[in-house]
Structure 1
């Protein structure tokens, strides 16, 4: 059916098949990325929750290099001459955490938005191929002056094939997009948990007057 289809319908189906390939490529790549990041984030949250002071994170290599820990430490260093304003420091630390979380969400959604586009447009692209195939059937009827099945069947067949290809491209894209939306939301919640644990450490250090500040030379 594909080989006998009109060239316009062939282009539609090839485009939809490429969109389907893109969908599954994003699925496998993003699944591996989110699985890896989720495992790391859970470990970091557990490690931070067990600390009594932000300074204890310095001696733990991987934890000390975590972006959220670096953000908290950077704000303490910049606020070395204003440690008496604990609420102001915590507000600025929260601001840094929120910016990191937003940047991480933008990074994780890269590629996922393509799935939304495919899911929204693929049925209509397939419908275009359907309309074109039906139109070819009517052209055949007009040319042959008959509604014989042999005349209308090729156009109807390519129309149905275009419809099926559009659905094959669209349905997985929508399902996978919704799946990743939930996964990214869960990852953002894990980042928020780590941020809250770090903020508690900063608050304790400020209350004790033991904030681990690295003053500029």
Structure 2
């Protein structure tokens, strides 16, 4: 009797094949997300490094804005663009006379800037964390799917014993083998998903901390500029 994995799956019942197909779909989806996230975080990291260098080397905010437009993949650049755009709106409103140019009013407009920066920060965090839920679902669900296949295979083995009236290896081996393969497949899909989910979650946290730090520096820079001009 050939008990290779391929032979086991070829001779498995409809339920066993369905379970393996579901696990295969989870596996393909999770690995596709892993590759996509690796590329996304790598590009974001490189873009962020280049943007931060360009930002601190810029003489004016407009110069920094032009640099930020070249690094759209950087979360810090996206946050800065949102803040700079809000500053331009505030400046336009003040120039048109809609807002008095007092120190109190200028400091009050900082609330609008902070909200714009915070909103961009949240959107970037959501973008970086997108699709990680699929990895979390894969890591938590596939072991139970494999376990269901295990139970089903054992049930098939007992059914074969009852039909043939024998508990020989030839009778129980196919069902037991199918059950063990389902268990192994479930774990093989779940373990990488859990590992990479934790890895990417840590990367998201690192980016979030970096963006939070940059946002604080950016807002402090604007507030110091307002106080200097007062």
TM-score (norm 1): 0.87
Deviation at 1:178, TM superposition (A): 0.5
Native 8 Å contact 2:136 2:193 kept in 1: yes
Measured on the aligned residues, the alpha-carbon RMSD in Å equals: 2.0
Q: Which runs of 5+ in 1 are unaligned?
A: 211-217
Native 8 Å contact 1:86 1:203 kept in 2: no
Aligned residues: 208
Deviation at 1:82, TM superposition (A): 4.8
Native 8 Å contact 1:16 1:165 kept in 2: yes
Q: 1:22 to 1:82 in 2, by over 3 A?
A: farther
Which residue in the other structure is 2:81 paired with?
Answer: 70
Which residue in the other structure is 1:178 paired with?
Answer: 198
Native 8 Å contact 2:86 2:112 kept in 1: yes
Q: Which runs of 5+ in 2 are unaligned?
A: 1-7, 71-76
Which residue in the other structure is 2:122 paired with?
Answer: 102
Which residue in the other structure is 2:111 paired with?
Answer: 91
Native 8 Å contact 1:134 1:159 kept in 2: yes
Deviation at 1:86, TM superposition (A): 3.7
- Decide which of 36, 39, 42 is 1:32's aligned counterpart: 39
**Once the two structures are superposed, what CA deviation does each residue of 1:60-94 show, in whole Å capped at 9, x if it has no partner?**
x2236643333222322333235523432333222
Partners in 2 of 1:27 and 1:82 — Cα distance?
Answer: 52
SS in 2 for 1:2: helix
Deviation at 1:133, TM superposition (A): 0.3
Q: 1:48 to 1:62 in 2, by over 3 A?
A: closer
Native 8 Å contact 2:139 2:193 kept in 1: yes
Work out which structure has the larger RCO, using CA pairs closer than 8 Å and 6 or more positions apart in sequence: 1
